[in-house]
Structure 1
Amino acid sequence: MPALLRIVCDNTGMRFAAVARVTDGTWTACAVEDGIDFGLLPGGQLDVHTTLCKEARAARQPVVFDHASEDPTYRDHHTPRIYGIESYISVPIIRPDGEYFGNLCAIDPRPNMVSGVKTVAMFQSFAELIGRQLALEQRREATEVALLDARQTAELREQFIAVLGHDLRNPLASVGAIGEILVRRPEPDVAKYGDRLRANTRRMSKLIDDVLDLARGRMGSGIGVCIEAVAQLEAALRDVVAELRDSHPQWHIRETYRMRGHVECDLGRVQQLLSNLVGNAFAYGDPARPVVVEATLDAEWLEIGVRNWGEPIPPANLEKIFEPYWRPAQSKPGGGLGLGLHICSQIVKAHGGTLHVSSSRESGTCFTARLPARRGSTAIA
């Protein structure tokens, strides 16, 4: 705004220019270019009744004169007399929505030719530009406020989810303990219900773990990992597959391991990664065909791949499947929360690795996680 006011003065010869916020009862300077020591600073106010901006506001038309003492309309007007001015121009500033804001005005104690068509047109163009800029600033401020509100709401939601997930653990542990007691009962029906209760408890515990992992990642810098040297990773991965095989006896899982040496990783998180990938294969694969698990470890990389033979993932969905809470439209009711693959991606990211998916009818759907075997290695996408 100061640069615009300097342009106004340079092009008209006027030595004072201002942008003023004008209401029915106030006149407040927003920006000032003062070459006559008028003494008005931004934020300063004048009695609106002593100005001509009130007339410009009422008519929404420019008020302009070149030589007040010789002008038949303004030679007896109180404004030139009060402020000792001879030349004057004031143009209304109107926002694009039609709301009146104030005036772009210029004054000088000396006579000056400001009533020419080109000069008035220049002032009107600048006033329109200021009105549009004000509207942009207003929208920007509204957007920033909305974003801040949304961010605060999101943080509160993540905190609520974290607290809720934490508080659900104790009652769920009690339910699981009851299931364990019922499984040991000699009555077949009671043991069957106990087994069902135990399975549902495991599923609910898995959902709580996923929600807590998401909340931790959102409120911090991602999923935390504790990197340690693991020498028996193959046995740990086989344990995960064995547990999944026991809980999903209708599925056939085919395993292949080529593991040499040790890997520096968070063992629990790598097991969680494999469990989530196999669980996803169960959710979307073809039960008539096996789920294939392949794990390879060499001096540089740990690579874990899980393949299923369900319907191929549409290309448009390949970029979405790692987003939290996202589930394809054809998902069965009662499935997970849509967090499993997102958490997999965060686990891999925390290890400095990559997670890739390919999907076709001929080759099936394969998720491949590639993690550096040693800290300091750089993952290559």
Structure 2
Amino acid sequence: MNEAIQRDIQAINAIEAIPHIMEILASTLRLRFICVARVTEEAWTMCSVLDNAEFGLSPGDELEIETTFCRTVRANRKEIVINHASADNEYRENPIPIMYGFESYFSYPLYDAKGEFFGTLCGLDPEPRELRTEAVHGQVSAFAKLISNQILLNDHIEQTLTQLSDAKNMARLQEQYIAILGHDIRTPLSSIQIGISFLDDLIKDSEVASTVQVPVFKAVSRMKNSVQRMSRLIEDTMDFTHTRVGQGLPVKLAVSNNLSQQINYTVEELATAYPKSSIRIHVDITRPLICDDKRICQLLSNLLKNALIHGDMSYPVYVKVLTNSNDFILSVQNSGTPISDESKARLFQPFWRKESNRQNEGLGLGLFIASEIAKAHKGTLGVNSDYNGTEFTLRFPLQTVSSNIFES
């Protein structure tokens, strides 16, 4: 048996309705043998069977095509129905009923997803049965059409799953490529960064500074900003691909000794970058905790930068970080236009940005990465937004984190 026929048998056996159809036909028509067969020009192969006549045929068994009426059904694309073979002028001398020992018989064509002949729905019994009636024809032809439609549906489902699998594999390859590319770009970028740092240190020298013109200062400053932005984009891309290719965002959980200091440094860094904005910070970490300091500060930076860009600059941005008896809580709140419910539903999706904000720098990964950092700490990142302000809040349970130290 070739692989194509094996797949056809599996496809028929995957159709849950077929055993029920055979039971119904056997009961209503009083036939002891019902089957679905795959019929080609060369072979007749059993796919599914209800054998109460004990003919001994099982799925995968084959019959010589010349010894079946299904060959004729295949050639004519038309059913064959026999009530009483030994008394029928057309079939009483035919060797096929004698060979298999049946008197009543039907065989209806089945079609595949391409509309081509697939096989037959057959029924027979050693005793005569009244099968040549409109009622029987309507019932059997309806079931044959149902099976054909199910073959078509299953084929479409299989094609869709194959296409989906191909698309997933392609997406995974693309993500792996991005990860490799991001990793390889870091090396030349680091060399550029070293060169810019050398130039920056050089022009800060009092003797050299007097001979350097203003445009040079500006050029080096722009280069530094460009490299920093490239570095952020690469880091965001690498983090994104980690969530797709790996098992989530990698974190290194450890006992935090100076998180308060690092949080203050992160806020100061952004305050320098956005001098026209006002940031109010309150840090009250009273308990030791286990976290990834770097990732927590990355989350804070993403949230704070988002607030500074989208908030009303005439009002301060509030940063609060604290621990209570159970949780670590970090929140960033800004004033401004409330976030719509539609936008809330998509805020933490990768690459999503409001149409009005398409010109802002970045890939639209900041909030997505922040949410992944929260998940990596077994916590949540939520948002509340109304006319009183917009507040993003990270919360994770101290006891859960402290009992699940891991590195991924």
TM-score, with length taken from structure 2: 0.84
Asked whether the 8 Å contact 1:292–1:306 carries over to 2, the reply is: yes
Q: Are 1:146 and 2:146 an aligned pair?
A: no
Q: What is the match of residue 124 of structure 1?
A: 141
Q: What is the match of residue 363 of structure 1?
A: 388
Q: Aligned pair in 2 of structure 1 residues 195, 18: CA closer, same or farther (>3 Å)? A: same
Shift of 1:229: 2.4
Q: Distance in 1 between matches of 2:42 and 2:276?
A: 81
Asked whether the 8 Å contact 1:233–1:262 carries over to 2, the reply is: no
Alignment of 1:81-230 (within 5 A): 81-94=98-111, 98-184=115-201, 185=203, 186=209, 187=212, 188-230=214-256
Q: Distance in 1 between matches of 2:319 and 2:353?
A: 23
Q: Distance in 1 between matches of 2:19 and 2:320?
A: 68
Q: Distance in 1 between matches of 2:400 and 2:72?
A: 75
Alignment of 1:219-298 (within 5 A): 219-298=245-324
Unaligned stretches of 5+ residues in structure 2: 1-17, 204-208, 404-408
Task: Provide, for residues 199-225 of structure 1, a one-character-per-residue CA deviation record: whole Å limited to 9, x for no partner.
Answer: 111111111111111222222322222
Asked whether the 8 Å contact 1:264–1:374 carries over to 2, the reply is: no
Q: What is the match of residue 329 of structure 1?
A: 355
Shift of 1:373: 3.5
Q: Are 1:40 and 2:57 an aligned pair?
A: yes
Shift of 1:270: 0.8
1:74 match: secondary structure: coil
Q: Aligned pair in 2 of structure 1 residues 78, 267: CA closer, same or farther (>3 Å)? A: same
Q: Distance in 2 between matches of 1:297 and 1:182?
A: 43
Task: Provide, for residues 25-44 of structure 1, a one-character-per-residue CA deviation record: whole Å limited to 9, x for no partner.
Answer: 43222112334444433223
Q: What is the match of residue 397 of structure 2?
A: 372
Q: Distance in 1 between matches of 2:222 and 2:307?
A: 22
Sequence identity percentage: 39
Q: Which moved more, 1:274-283 or 1:134-143?
A: 134-143
Q: What is the match of residue 73 of structure 2?
A: 56
Letter in 2 for 1:337: L
Task: Provide, for residues 138-193 of structure 1, a one-character-per-residue CA deviation record: whole Å limited to 9, x for no partner.
Answer: 22222321232222222212211211111111111111112212223222322221
2:356 match: secondary structure: coil
Q: Aligned pair in 2 of structure 1 residues 248, 376: CA closer, same or farther (>3 Å)? A: closer
Asked whether the 8 Å contact 1:286–1:308 carries over to 2, the reply is: yes
Q: Distance in 1 between matches of 2:358 and 2:134?
A: 72
Letter in 2 for 1:277: L
Count of aligned residue pairs for this structure pair: 377
Q: What is the match of residue 11 of structure 1?
A: 28
Q: Aligned pair in 2 of structure 1 residues 275, 377: CA closer, same or farther (>3 Å)? A: same
Asked whether the 8 Å contact 2:291–2:401 carries over to 1, the reply is: no
Q: What is the match of residue 299 of structure 1?
A: 325
Shift of 1:342: 0.7
Compare the two structures and name the one with the higher helix fraction: 2
Letter in 2 for 1:19: V
